[in-house]
Structure 1
Amino acid sequence: MNTFLFVHGAFQGGWCWDQITPALQQKGHKVVAIDLPGSGEDVTPPQDVSLKSYVKKVVSTIEKIDQPVILVGHSMSGMVISQAAEEIPEKIKKLVYVCAFVPENGQAVSDIASGGPKATLNEKDQSLTLIKEFIADDMLNESSEEDLRLFKRNIRPQPVQPFEDKVSLTNIRFGHVPSVYIETTKDRSIPIDLQRQMYATRSFERIYTLDADHFPFYSRKKEFVECLVDIAQPQ
């Protein structure tokens, strides 16, 4: 049995993994899906949220689990799982990047990203709110209407500061944690060319390819779970 720890991307919460959790549990795996600070049901004010607070939440969760975890990060949380691996590499069995940012040492999301989803800035609390009219075309372009409604119903404003905070990574710690990447070829949020440019910067054990949008756990649920089950197999 493996323990998967899922870390959601921007604007979301642990709820985004609900539809693929039962299939993994049926295979005998344990699933933990957290809310990052200021996301999901967490009430931390956006202006108090940083990459450091994200990483602290992930690390504290991992430290309560009695075996090394398969740490899965979606989109923005590629930054989070990378920094967590720097902090406690011995507690992470494998890193799984799901159409996620792959940072080099000293980079922030804002150093890598080009464009991104359309959102409005609230300067008072330093958060971004998605413009819902563009979500279907820009983010869930291969997902069902039901999943689109679910997504719109649950999203929250995204704190800005984690996009500006830079990671601090070393080869001797972060660089020694085995990693895989799940690329999504119909992604309009982090286009496939950018995904491939990023994952070419480090050595991944394997690249999985899904004909999916930015949310393969919606648009390609079965195939996504199959990737995770394969990743969990002994090497």
Structure 2
Amino acid sequence: MGTPVTFVLLHGAASDSWYWHLVAPALREAGHEVVAVDLPCDDPEAGLDAHTEAVVTAIGGRGEVVVVAQSLAGLVAPLVAARLPDRVVMVVMVAAMIPAPGETGGAWWAATGQQEAQRAADLAAGRDPDAPFDPFVTFLHDVPPDVAAASAEHTRDQTSRVFDDPWPLPSWPAVPTRVLLCRDDRLFPAPFLRELSRARLGLTPDELPGGHLPALAQPKALTEALLAYVGEP
């Protein structure tokens, strides 16, 4: 592209737009506009349509949009691209769920083998896969302590509603798509996401260091990858 675009940044589950606070300023400094969206993750009635509408509303009349989806937002980003085919010029999936037509977000975990992959990765690393869930072990293990502490103020309830809707598109929209995986991701282990990306999108992912939350743990590397996709103006 080589010209300024608008990066539309979508956070993952149980979070808010603060997730991008270390990435957004650097994208702006490079000459791009940034819209970090607060998704309605704590609304018990907000399904995929409501999430998509929140993003479309935030985009407004902007053109040349790159939609960047973290984790759960992978269900939403391609729906936005399908709604705005003349304006969304790229979708970037960051440690993201990759849906299949007709599949619900709730069914995605078993359909993709995520649970088995996470368990195998835990065992290989010497972690107890049956230990009680600990966000510091799964998500925050490589996030700087001050950032991890601040993140507690930006945790929201995640309702299950968005996981109930079958993914409505018959196929992936005709938009350039990139997949970024994180090599030490404990939720979506790298081998799992490599295979899922190839099977569902026919794409070989690009790779970042660190765990599941690169915008907090590896903001410089993530920013550089995003800028490389669009070409700095």
* TM-score in terms of structure 2 length: 0.83
Gaps of 5+ in 2: 119-131
Q: Give the conservation status (yes or no) of the 8 Å contact 1:101–1:198.
A: no
CA distance in 1, matches of 2:37, 2:10: 6
* Correspondence for 2:212: 214
CA distance in 2, matches of 1:176, 1:225: 25
Question: Post-superposition shift, 1:60?
Answer: 2.2
* Correspondence for 1:166: 166
Q: After TM superposition, what 4+ stretches of structure 1 lie above 3 angstroms from structure 2?
A: 114-117
- Where do residues 1-235 of structure 1 align in structure 2 (5 Å cutoff)? 1-39=4-42, 46-62=43-59, 64-113=60-109, 114-115=114-115, 134-171=134-171, 174-200=172-198, 201-204=200-203, 207-233=205-231
Greater relative contact order: 1 or 2 (C-alpha under 8 angstroms, separation 6 or more)? 2
Question: Post-superposition shift, 1:140?
Answer: 1.5
Question: Post-superposition shift, 1:69?
Answer: 0.3
* TM-score in terms of structure 1 length: 0.83
CA distance in 2, matches of 1:68, 1:221: 23
CA distance in 1, matches of 2:193, 2:140: 17
Q: Give the conservation status (yes or no) of the 8 Å contact 2:69–2:92.
A: yes
Question: How many equivalent residue pairs?
Answer: 210
CA distance in 2, matches of 1:66, 1:33: 14
Question: Post-superposition shift, 1:168?
Answer: 1.4
Q: Give the conservation status (yes or no) of the 8 Å contact 1:38–1:49.
A: yes
What CA deviation, in whole Å up to 9, does each residue of 1:61-108 have, x standing for no partner? 23x133120000000000000222222222211000000011111112
What CA deviation, in whole Å up to 9, does each residue of 1:177-219 have, x standing for no partner? 0000111111112222321122112134x63201210001111
CA distance in 1, matches of 2:220, 2:49: 33
C-alpha RMSD over aligned residues: 2.1
Gaps of 5+ in 1: 40-45, 118-131
CA distance in 2, matches of 1:148, 1:61: 27
- Residue type at the aligned position of 2:191: D
Q: Give the conservation status (yes or no) of the 8 Å contact 1:186–1:212.
A: yes
* Correspondence for 1:120: none
Residue 67 of structure 2 aligns to a residue whose secondary structure is strand
CA distance in 1, matches of 2:138, 2:195: 20
Once the two structures are overlaid, the 10-residue window that deviates more, 27-36 or 150-159, is 150-159
CA distance in 2, matches of 1:18, 1:188: 23
Residue 230 of structure 1 aligns to a residue whose secondary structure is helix
Q: Percent identity?
A: 25
* Correspondence for 1:124: none
Q: Give the conservation status (yes or no) of the 8 Å contact 2:71–2:95.
A: yes
Question: Post-superposition shift, 1:170?
Answer: 3.3
Q: Give the conservation status (yes or no) of the 8 Å contact 1:55–1:83.
A: yes
